[in-house]
Structure 1
Amino acid sequence: MERQPEKSGKIQLDPDNVEQGLSQLVLTVIELLRQLIERHALRRVESGTLSEEEIERLGTALMKLEIKMEELKVIFELEDEDLNINLGPLGNLL
């Protein structure tokens, strides 16, 4: 039976389960970038610099990216809280 990583808010780089820790780290970085892109997109929409077509394409792309992230979390058996790693004195990442 495979041991599940602890939910400590830290990246789990157990030598016996390095794939899980690596997938957690990669998905954390992707989630951070996804959130930054989403915030930037919202600012552009609110500023009125995008056409209706651009807003539609942007919304579709963001929805697809979120769906793909959910699929990857299922594949790697990760939850949202697994991607919110603890940065020590800086607090949580997400």
Structure 2
Amino acid sequence: METPRWRIAADSETVERDLSRLVLTLVELVRQLVERQCVRRMDGGNLSDEQVEVLGVTLMRLEDAMTELCERFGLSPEDLNLDLGPLGTLLPTD
């Protein structure tokens, strides 16, 4: 007797949106981690004023790029915060 195969019924729009959501969620997670590390370095006082300025501008540009990508794919920031069940949400809600 042959084992039944599992089939996923998915249309291309749903797959594209879900994949976009997953990729943007990962990018947002990394962006937030980088931002926190930059803030720690700035607070540590071992960066020049010029380095602090460059980091600040870079972080603002990254945030703007994420906003644009979310708009392009019809996603809100809340859509990127995956629910991990008993662990809570993936992204901090601060």
TM-score, structure 1 as length reference: 0.82
**Percent identity, aligned pairs only?**
56
Larger Rg: 2
Query: Mind listing any 5+ residue stretches in structure 1 that lack a counterpart?
Result: 1-13
RMSD: 1.0
Higher relative contact order structure (alpha carbons within 8 Å, sequence separation ≥ 6): 1
TM-score, structure 2 as length reference: 0.82
Number of aligned positions between the proteins: 81
* Structure 2 counterpart of 1:15, from 10, 14, 26: 10
1:47 aligns with 2:47: no
What amino acid is the match of 2:61? K
Secondary structure of 1:44's counterpart equals helix
Corresponding residue for residue 27 of structure 1: 24
What amino acid is the match of 1:28? T
Corresponding residue for residue 89 of structure 1: 86
